Structure 1
Amino acid sequence: MASQEIQDMLGVSRTRAYQITNSKTFPDPVAVLSVGRIWRAEDVERWIKAHRRDLQDTEQ
């Protein structure tokens, strides 16, 4: 998962997504490529469940 996808999932600006992905609580990227950092989708989803309850699916 790339930064743009995280930005879209969180519904935040590019600047805010950068701040979030650089926070101590956010998972480490699994790769750093020339096009940017890459995260595992399951790691990002787990972080959202723990830190962004407002974005969780309420139909569970």
Structure 2
Amino acid sequence: METPSLRLLGAHEVRARIGLISRQRVYQLAKRADFPQPVADLAQGKIWLADEIEAWLDARRIRLEPRPPADGG
């Protein structure tokens, strides 16, 4: 039986994944109720599960996608 790998992201990886936002912005996002909770808070900073960050990003992408232009017909 294969054990699934656990992918973790620190603030640097989260900011790169979101789009090179600042480290401070990552921590501002972390205070939001809809942002995934960190799995640990280390001396170097918080760490998150990559799958949870990806799911959060996917949910936001759906809401942020531009609407198709209305048919002028």
TM-score normalised over the length of structure 1: 0.77
* CA drift at 1:14: 2.2
Structure-2 separation of matches of 1:38 and 1:22:
14
CA distance in 2, matches of 1:7, 1:22: 15
Identity %: 40
Unaligned runs of 5+ in 2: 1-8, 65-73
Aligned with residue 36 of structure 1, among 25, 29, 45:
45
Q: Return the structure number with greater helix share.
A: 1
Q: Counterparts in 2 of 1:8-47, with a 5 A limit?
A: 8-11=16-19, 12-47=21-56
TM-score by length of 2: 0.65
Counterpart CA distance in 1 for 2:17 and 2:34 is 17
Find 2:12's aligned residue among 4, 24, 28.
4
Between the two proteins, the alignment pairs up a number of residues equal to: 53
Residues 31-40 or 11-20, more deviating: 11-20
Query: Which 4+ stretches in 1 moved above 6 angstroms?
Result: none
- Which of the pair has more CA radius of gyration? 2
> Equivalents in 2 of 1:36, 1:15: separation in Å?
11
Unaligned runs of 5+ in 1: 55-60
